[in-house]
């Protein structure tokens, strides 16, 4: 733990940057997943199938993955404030534009644009936080930031249900059209504020004293000295060939498969269990998110206190897998379904909080921008695969349960791979052959 003077500095830094980043992430998650609520109306309105919905959500992740590395490299060059301005204004505009969808191809096109616009947002946040906080604090900092996910569920679920049920046909617009309009606009406004709210690093933060900067530089140098990759010139291809980075990307692929399955299909799972009201589905989603928020904080605190990562991650992946597998046996039972979805969401949303402490602690400099983006982008392809898998299986079987069982299997594979890949001690990413740190 930092000394008292350090604690004061980090409290000052956290209060300055975390609230704004938190609000940005809340809006990001709401705008990314609100299509899961909108589809409860627009599939019938536009005559689209579950397979089309699965393909549309998958296209988002393909586009996101393709543009993630360039976005993170650009952030390292031009700074976080300008990057957030670009990302948030574009994703807000793309979210609003979804209200004009008329069929499958316009839906595919706008989801592709939304993925390209959002690309680099989350890995950019992880990279940006590494400029301010040392390794031993990152799980707690990540947990505070990633509380945005359950908070987005607590607010976005009820809000989406309320908009779709109360504003349906107002001024001639369908409920799902109002959903995209109302929930997309705040991202544009917040993006315009980013240059005024964020400093691109401690050296450019006028609100820090010289003594504050000295504390940050001392602690960050200590963290950077432990990084294995990034202390000298390492090319992008060497990072791409690094087996540990590729292994971590494979684990993140499995994690992302589970996250997308829970995130995008939870409203459909609740509806399949017998909940018919869109508003009720929204409120249940909010209740589940409250449980998720409490669990996120508790598990992240436990991981930091014990400085243990691998079993915290693996246990959460295993619990999610078991919950998804058992959902088929809870079909038609609303309370049991809600409990299983709550366990699955709590655990799978906790995984990235702890997981991202591993690569963030091992990468430094330009290699951090590239390595984090590569792990995130390759892993994000799991989002496309998950959407295709669950959507395709639901189109064939009429229920989401067969696809969710396959997702559970992939989570088991990912947990085993993680335990084999990450040693019991602090994880190390070996430098490429010939590299001397």
CATH number of the domain to which 163 belongs:
1.20.1250.20
User: pLDDT grade, residue 1 (50/70/90)?
Assistant: very low
Could you tell me if residue 349 is inside a domain? yes
Tell me the C-alpha distance between 37 and 40, whole Å: 6
Please give the backbone phi and psi of residue 234, each rounded to the nearest 5 degrees, phi first: -125, 130
User: pLDDT grade, residue 367 (50/70/90)?
Assistant: low
Average of pLDDT values for 63-87?
A: 80
Classified as helix, coil or strand, 275 is coil
Is 205:199 a contact under the CB 8 Å cutoff?
yes
Classified as helix, coil or strand, 229 is strand
Is 362:427 a contact under the CB 8 Å cutoff?
yes
Could you tell me if residue 382 is inside a domain? yes
- Predicted pLDDT at 366: 54
Any idea which residue has 């793309």 for tokens? 94
Q: What is the pLDDT of residues 177-227, one digit of tens each?
A: 999 999 999 999 998 988 888 887 787 778 888 888 887 877 777 655 454
Could you tell me if residue 342 is inside a domain? yes
Q: How many structural domains does the chain have?
A: 1
Q: What is the pLDDT of residues 2-21, one digit of tens each?
A: 444 677 888 888 888 889 99
Is 285:411 a contact under the CB 8 Å cutoff?
no
Task: Give the chain's mean pLDDT.
Answer: 80
Torsion of CA 351, 357, 358, 359, to 10 degrees: 110
Could you tell me if residue 68 is inside a domain? yes
Could you tell me if residue 116 is inside a domain? yes
Could you tell me if residue 310 is inside a domain? yes
- State the burial class of residue 362 (Cβ atoms within 10 Å of its Cβ: 0-12, 13-18, 19+): buried
CB-based contacts of 142: which residues, under 8 Å, 6+ apart? 126, 129, 300, 352, 353, 354, 356, 357
Could you tell me if residue 436 is inside a domain? no
Quote the tokens at residue 209. 């004293």
This prediction's pTM: 0.70
pLDDT surpasses 90 at 406: yes
What's the domain range around 121? 8-201+219-421
pLDDT surpasses 90 at 264: no
- Predicted pLDDT at 388: 81
Could you tell me if residue 319 is inside a domain? yes
């Amino acid at each position: 733990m930092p000394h008292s003077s350090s604690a004061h500095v980090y409290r000052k830094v956290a209060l300055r940057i975390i609230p704004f980043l938190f609000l940005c992430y809340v809006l990001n998650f709401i705008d990314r997943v609100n299509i899961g609520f909108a589809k409860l109306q627009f599939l019938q309105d536009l005559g689209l199938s579950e397979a089309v919905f699965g393909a549309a959500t998958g296209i988002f992740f393909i586009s996101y993955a393709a543009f993630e590395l360039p976005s993170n490299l650009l952030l390292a060059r031009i700074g976080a404030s300008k990057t957030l301005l670009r990302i948030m204004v574009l994703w807000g505009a793309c979210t609003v534009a979804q209200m004009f969808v008329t069929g499958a191809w316009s839906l595919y096109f706008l989801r592709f644009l939304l993925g390209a616009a959002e690309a680099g947002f989350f890995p950019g946040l992880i990279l940006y936080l590494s400029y301010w906080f040392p390794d031993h604090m990152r799980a707690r900092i990540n947990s505070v930031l990633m509380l945005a996910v359950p908070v987005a569920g607590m607010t976005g679920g009820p809000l989406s249900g309320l908009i779709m049920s109360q504003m349906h046909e107002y001024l001639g617009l369908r409920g799902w059209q109002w959903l995209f309009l109302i929930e997309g606009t705040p991202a544009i406004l917040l993006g315009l504020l980013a240059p005024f709210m964020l400093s691109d690093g401690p050296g450019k933060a006028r609100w820090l004293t010289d003594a504050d900067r000295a504390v940050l530089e001392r602690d960050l140098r200590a963290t950077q000295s432990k990084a294995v990759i990034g202390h000298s010139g390492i090319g992008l291809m060497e990072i791409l060939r690094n087996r540990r980075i590729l292994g971590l990307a494979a684990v993140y692929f499995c994690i992302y498969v589970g996250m997308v399955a829970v995130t995008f299909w939870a409203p459909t799972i609740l509806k399949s269990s017998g909940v018919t009201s869109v508003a009720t589905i929204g409120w249940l989603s909010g209740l589940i998110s409250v449980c998720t928020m409490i669990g996120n904080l508790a598990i992240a605190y436990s991981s930091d206190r014990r400085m243990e990562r691998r079993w915290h991650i693996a246990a959460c992946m295993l619990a999610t897998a078991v919950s998804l597998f058992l959902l088929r046996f809870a079909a038609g039972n609303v309370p049991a379904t809600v409990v299983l979805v709550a366990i699955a969401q709590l655990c799978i949303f906790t995984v990235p909080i702890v997981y991202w402490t591993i690569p963030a602690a091992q990468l430094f400099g330009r290699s951090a921008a590239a390595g984090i983006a590569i792990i995130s982008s390759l892993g994000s392809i799991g989002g496309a695969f998950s959407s295709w898998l669950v959507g395709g299986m639901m189109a064939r079987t009429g229920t989401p349960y067969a696809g969710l069982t396959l997702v559970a299997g992939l989570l088991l594979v990912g947990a085993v791979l993680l335990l084999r890949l990450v040693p019991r001690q602090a994880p190390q990413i070996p430098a490429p052959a010939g590299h001397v740190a």
